[in-house]
Structure 1
């Protein structure tokens, strides 16, 4: 999962991720229950009918019949444009092919799923394409009752047959890890009629999150795919009709993409969509790199920037448009768990499978120097994969977490049970911390490397230790260069290779790297998606850049997936966090608890933003009066 920027979340760069796991966990809203007898005299089965579902059965934040989401302005004006920047290039508008082509930014925006989440309820999934869902207490199956009014952008109805087709297409042509996993948990999907689709779940597997997994199935037009012969796993510029509020308007390969709001969008009056999808168009302008993208913003070539550079945020926002009051800066809070980013070791490389060697290499990264000298002191050091949440392991293990760790004690280092949760090393103000250098030399000796007379690390056969850092963003040059210099002081032949985006994509997709700056998306609630990111069976999945896998973690993932309470789930995740931090397959770096946003003063947003989304494409809006003023002043290019 590619770390998209220096200061922001991951997610947009790794394609197809939403297909493998739903972004929000599940929730249950004030259900209606029915009794359906399978046969005369047989015990009746309690059937739950609801428009939403939760993981652990607590009531939904939004009950059936809610008027609109709390954080939107239901009367927000429609119209205008929001324009953003993308770096690099694109040669495809199919976002679901993980190995062929580079997809255009926001190319998933046209497609909807059966269920959707909200920006203020991290545990909830609500009906979008469906009006209700029905399932037994056992959750052995679920039926989604699709809205008859749902339409694709070409005017054809969204039917249960389209959902069945989409499910099968994902199994046949989607990512192998998705197909392998979903085919095991969902053996049967059938259209009961045009608007009722039934997912049947496999016997003998935990039921938690299965309904949400089924509800994450997108709606693709069966008729279009059959007519065109298009494939899901190909690079193409032709797009299938989607049911979402936006559709493709125009594009210029490698330069620009414009999406326009569908004036006939079927769902515009749904309570969950009121006050959302307010822009007439979303324009994406492509730039060669981050520097040229920032220059484009200062010149008014695009109007909204989610800043990703501490240097820009600290020193760059003094250009004329800011001085004249044309551009606003904001730092709204971000309530999500920070992505678990850092310098990721590729454990597929045999020499990087030695923990002592990884610890030694990690000791040469100096967070204090990097943050204070290069990042203007704007960040905090990340400790945990689930930083700042109830899922973060702290101190000594105790209670249920300790019991779970003891259950896999024969598979983990005994120190995990008796020592506080592993914390990243501390460094001094100078670039090279000599205390850490000494520690690193000692660890390298344990790993089988010794310093020769020239201060070069060599193994028992006299081979020099060579490590390559692979990167594509120029903005990371200043971050990685001091780390490289420190490693050379250790005696490592450290090399920094910066390649263009196409080369980077090709090399990372084939796992041809030693170290990259990357990471893992994590959430406030975890379930079935853990196995794809951290499970042994998916060591070679694109969502597991380190290639990490351990039997102990596999067993604990099963505990998390099977958890019946939040407390059990949290204890399992804390145990996993503790083990993975000890294994040290990533050098933890920094995190930011808020967004950095710069935009031309032509947009409005709700006074209080929700905790789990910035929502600039969803519930912000265009202020026509302020936009016209900027045009008259010559602020926009």
Structure 2
């Protein structure tokens, strides 16, 4: 499972730290000595069970190590079994509070962050969590057997020193506001995990973490149960009060969407998130919903929109011309799809940083232009104009903007400029090569959503073949960048930073299993990411991330899809209770696992 850290890269001009936590801008919602997060029920009873269903993209698991590259770990394992030095709250952005660490100090020059561990912190085996374990965890994650995303995100970390038994100091290559949050959020595990074996050989060794749960009964291929550690060291800590309320977290595995939907209706599990507007509108029903046992809940959130997109692999010769990529995007009829297929449940993605202060608007500012100017010959001219807007087909009032037919005419012109013409109904280049592309997916059900785009592309002479493969092969092909086009749901962040070098940096483009699926190799993009990470002021930071959004969007590496401003959760109201306050930045099922509780628990 790939996790993108929500942090920001900004230079420290003065010491910005708090003994009980750390904030990007020095302001924290919760003061030292606070009792609990405001969105939890600190009196929630402990006990009972929550029954979940594994995401279809992880149809089974073959390892207990979530950090190595090969194989699949069980759902929720990282969240439930590993604590970190700091932990964030779900009602605040850009701040984190001490978990394993009782305090954090950032040096006045911004070149180090020192964490002091709580003496009561314990691993599942009863051992104390010591500085040597933190160093071992960091060194292991930076080693050869883990995702390259760690190396990219931690590129500005010079090293980790053990100051004493319970104190560690991270050293940074340059001042960078995001790094204390980044290193503070890294998982910490025991040096004894794996008994000294090379990390890639630590496969089925049960993790030795310090989180609230341990692995319980397992039925391979069917389900896994996590059991709450009654001796969990942080059960009374302010950042953990009202959380980890279930004695057991059962995660069931189903092979296809139909099976798990029917299992939900039959009452075989308690909670399921829905990402299909069609399923939510038409198929989430039945006698258990009629009786009130099962409830459909739409929970609004304030999270960034993210940038779920069709990803065009520019390593492929047919996709290297920006005009070709733009033309492919003009054949997407989102308005028709939203109206007829999605029950008008979605909004269109417009850029990388929607619903955040980093989103570009209108014409570029002088500061943005100054950052892009040195690369004027290397980036699309459109980046110096109005903010990117996906083509529309719903006949807006602007008479210059037509429907799908006009969009396809413009796409034809772009393809013609790029040297592609229709010959006998087939789009060919000067060498007679046809425009034949493959769309890679991990499930046959994806064909329904892609089919309208395929039909529209046929009108341009472009042949897009839908290729479903099993998840293991899909994952392998993504890791090796062996695809033309696929779909990726990128999570958004209000504070983008060094992690964007993994998504769009030139070095990541040549690194297997990196997040740069589009193969972006652009000096302009590299420069803008560098400015974003190293900005000295908030204004400089905003200029850099907005310019980055303009360049990436107008380069059409990604063809934007859609997002929802609500989380759709179907849950068993007879078995589960939830807090009165819905935090603004929660994420689907993880909020329920963390803060809900079982009804009818005997105290």
Q: TM-score, normalised by structure 2?
A: 0.92
CA contact (8 A) 2:265 2:285 kept: no
Among candidates 330, 341, 353, match of residue 363 of structure 1:
330
Is the aligned partner of 1:435 residue 2:410?
A: no
CA distance change for structure 1 residues 184 and 327 in 2, over 3 Å: closer, same or farther? closer
Query: d(CA) in 2 for partners of 1:46 and 1:344?
Result: 40
Displacement after TM superposition at 1:477 (Å): 2.0
Is the aligned partner of 1:485 residue 2:455?
A: yes
Query: d(CA) in 2 for partners of 1:235 and 1:473?
Result: 30
Give the SS at the match of 2:553: helix
CA distance change for structure 1 residues 135 and 436 in 2, over 3 Å: closer, same or farther? closer
CA contact (8 A) 2:212 2:244 kept: yes
Among candidates 448, 462, 472, match of residue 502 of structure 1:
472
Is the aligned partner of 1:621 residue 2:597?
A: yes
Among candidates 251, 255, 273, match of residue 218 of structure 2:
251
Give the SS at the match of 2:389: coil
Specify the alignment match of 2:284 in structure 1: 317
Is the aligned partner of 1:216 residue 2:185?
A: yes
CA distance change for structure 1 residues 232 and 395 in 2, over 3 Å: closer, same or farther? same
Specify the alignment match of 1:512 in structure 2: 482
Among candidates 158, 173, 189, match of residue 187 of structure 1:
158
Displacement after TM superposition at 1:133 (Å): 1.7
CA distance change for structure 1 residues 179 and 270 in 2, over 3 Å: closer, same or farther? closer
Among candidates 562, 576, 579, match of residue 606 of structure 1:
579
Deviations 1:316-352 (A, max 9, x none): 1221111111111111112111221111101111221
Displacement after TM superposition at 1:389 (Å): 2.2
Deviations 1:177-218 (A, max 9, x none): 34644675333322222211122222xx23322222322332
Q: TM-score, normalised by structure 1?
A: 0.87
Query: d(CA) in 2 for partners of 1:234 and 1:336?
Result: 38
Displacement after TM superposition at 1:501 (Å): 1.0
Displacement after TM superposition at 1:134 (Å): 2.5
- Output the aligned Cα RMSD: 2.3
Specify the alignment match of 2:532 in structure 1: 560
CA contact (8 A) 1:94 1:234 kept: no
Specify the alignment match of 1:354 in structure 2: 321
**Where in structure 2 are the equivalents of 1:383-422 lying within 5 Å?**
383-406=350-373, 408-417=375-384, 419-422=385-388
Is the aligned partner of 1:277 residue 2:244?
A: yes
Specify the alignment match of 1:125 in structure 2: 96
CA contact (8 A) 1:374 1:478 kept: no
Displacement after TM superposition at 1:235 (Å): 7.0
Specify the alignment match of 2:442 in structure 1: 472
Among candidates 299, 312, 317, match of residue 345 of structure 1:
312
CA distance change for structure 1 residues 127 and 26 in 2, over 3 Å: closer, same or farther? farther
Specify the alignment match of 1:547 in structure 2: 519
Deviates more, 1:613-622 or 1:206-215: 206-215
Specify the alignment match of 1:596 in structure 2: 568
CA distance change for structure 1 residues 334 and 234 in 2, over 3 Å: closer, same or farther? farther
Specify the alignment match of 2:38 in structure 1: 70
Query: d(CA) in 1 for partners of 2:464 and 2:16?
Result: 61
CA contact (8 A) 1:520 1:543 kept: no
Displacement after TM superposition at 1:255 (Å): 1.4
CA distance change for structure 1 residues 183 and 606 in 2, over 3 Å: closer, same or farther? closer
Query: d(CA) in 1 for partners of 2:382 and 2:447?
Result: 37
CA contact (8 A) 1:535 1:553 kept: yes
Runs (5+) with no aligned partner, structure 1: 1-13, 28-44, 628-637
Runs (5+) with no aligned partner, structure 2: 396-402
CA distance change for structure 1 residues 46 and 288 in 2, over 3 Å: closer, same or farther? closer
Give the SS at the match of 1:328: strand
Query: d(CA) in 1 for partners of 2:579 and 2:97?
Result: 22
Higher RCO, Cα 8 Å, sep 6+: 2
Query: d(CA) in 1 for partners of 2:436 and 2:427?
Result: 9
Displacement after TM superposition at 1:144 (Å): 1.0
CA contact (8 A) 2:531 2:544 kept: yes
Aligned residues: 583
Give the SS at the match of 1:187: strand
CA contact (8 A) 2:351 2:553 kept: yes
Is the aligned partner of 1:463 residue 2:433?
A: yes
CA contact (8 A) 1:25 1:125 kept: no
Query: d(CA) in 2 for partners of 1:138 and 1:315?
Result: 57
CA distance change for structure 1 residues 325 and 128 in 2, over 3 Å: closer, same or farther? same
